[in-house]
Amino acid sequence: MKRIVVVGASAAGLAAAETLRREGYDGTLTLVGDEPHAPYDRPPLSKQILSGEWGTKQLPLRPYQVLDSLGLDLRLGVAATGLDTTDRTVRLADGSQVAYDGLIVATGVRPRRLPGEGAHVLRTLDDALALRGLLGPGRRLVVVGAGFLGAEATAVAWKLGARVTLIEPAPVPLAQAVGHEVGGVLSRAHLEHGVDLRTGVSVSAVTEDGVLLDDGELVGADEILVAIGSLPNTDWLADSGLTVRDGLVCDEYCQAGQGVYGAGDVARWYNPLFGVSMRIEHRTNAAEQGMAAARNLLRPEARKPFAPVPYFWSDQYDMKIQAYGYLRGHDEVAVVDGDLAERRFVAAYRTGDRVTGALAVGMPPKAIRLWRQAVATGAAWREAVPTETTGAPVNEVA
């Protein structure tokens, strides 16, 4: 292959580019990114950057000299607008086209928005910097969406002295992912810190004075953060002939089409470890999938299925949350170590008859590592979880 193009200059795209060079690819390697910034880390945006603990110099994934050593044809500040898989060309927003022999799609996601003007989102460095300068003692912040991103931003804003209202349409935040009991534990942390947590409430629109709820109530705010999930950046693939369904659809090798592979938040691939198609929006998965896609593209004769145990972490107030596996759609969750009331515990998750996930709050890393192994090996639930625990699960999902 004379030219490989990687579209998306964040964690997945950079990992793919580095892997290609490390594996010996010496052809032209084009890395396209829609932001003007060199590749940077996104998890700190809602934590260290928003709080002001970090400056922007601490955010890049690699120093410029390391990027230079990769010998990239670096196209920053220009988005991909189209793909022709017949002619094998990527169209860019500046009117140019880039031909490819191999292509890795790593265009990530964009935030969902609400009707109205003036709300913040939190996906890019510029988003975080814009909101950071507006938070402080006494400022009223409404956060719409109590998922991990909204919860992290709420905790940071509270620490900065803001008065925070956190609005979530579900009765229990994060229950769909982590279960009702664990979601309740995480929710109580907000209440204990004085956050006005409103659940089972939906926002219909953003206004210049606050957010308008479905029942007509106006919740006043100086600033509004919308954190209601994301949409895969696949619009530019609309006429490509590739399959798009809540992400770029890929097989177990991360392949989406002839000479085309997907990686990171945008990729929906079949994970043979769990036997389901999944799209994971976590930092660790982005890097691992970028590497896997690059290797499989470069050496198709030796390609391997991408079958990871997904991992994510979150920092909220004094809580360190870590999770392994695929928790969504679980049938049962049981506390296997520690105590929910003390917010120090490990919970194991069952899907069918096997262990498919584990989540820890306030526990050392070694407390959850054995459960990662149980997920990786497809351990039987009855063999991995003590009988006295399975007899009294903390949550059943129909």
The pLDDT tens digits of the residues spanning 48-67 come to 999 999 999 999 999 999 99
For 297, phi then psi, to 5°, come to -65, -45
Q: What is the pLDDT of residue 289?
A: 98
* Residues 96-149 pLDDT 10s: 999 999 999 999 999 999 999 999 999 999 999 999 999 999 999 999 999 999
* pLDDT for position 388: 59
- Residue 358's closest CA among 341, 340, 335? 335
Cβ neighbour number for residue 82 with a 10 Å cutoff: 16
- Give the burial string for 125-137 (b: 16+ CB within 10 Å, else e): bebbeebbeebee
Count of CB atoms within 10 A of residue 354's CB?
18
Which pLDDT score is estimated for 60? 96
Q: What is the 3-state secondary structure (H, E, C) of 101-156?
A: CEEEECCCEEECCCCCCCCECCCCHHHHHHHHCCCCCCCEEEEECCCHHHHHHHHH
- Nearest-CA neighbor of 234 among 251, 247, 215? 247
Q: Are 394 and 181 in contact (CB under 8 A)?
A: yes
Q: What is the spatial distance between Cα 390 and Cα 394, in angstroms, rounded to a whole number?
A: 9
Nearest to 360 by CA among 391, 304, 314: 314
**pTM of the entire predicted model:** 0.94
Distance CA(367)–CA(345), nearest Å, equals: 9
User: Which pLDDT does position 46 carry in this prediction?
Assistant: 97
Instruction: Please report which residue ranges of 133-231 form alpha helices under DSSP H.
Output: 148-159, 175-178, 180-192
pLDDT (0 to 100) of residue 386: 78
Task: Classify 359 as helix, strand or coil.
Answer: strand
Angle made by CA atoms 382, 367, 48, in degrees to the nearest 5: 130
Inter-CA distances, 321 with 231, 306, 316, 343, 350, Å: 24, 25, 8, 10, 19
Residue 17 to residue 15: CA distance in whole angstroms: 5
- Positions in the chain short of pLDDT 50: 390-398
Residues in a beta bridge with 314: 321
CA distance 359 to 325: 9
Q: Cβ(211)–Cβ(140) under 8 Å?
A: no
Q: 306 — alpha (psi -120 to 50), left (phi > 0) or beta?
A: beta
Residue identified by tokens 């935030």 is: 111
Pairwise CA distance, residues 48 & 122, whole Å: 13
Q: What is the 3-state secondary structure (H, E, C) of 294-310?
A: HHHHHCHHHCCCCCCCC
Q: Residues 121, 174, 183, 348: what is their CA dihedral angle, to the nearest 10 degrees?
A: -130
* Residues paired with 354 in a beta bridge: 351, 380
Tell me phi and psi for residue 126, to 5 degrees.
Answer: -65, -35
354: helix, strand or coil = strand
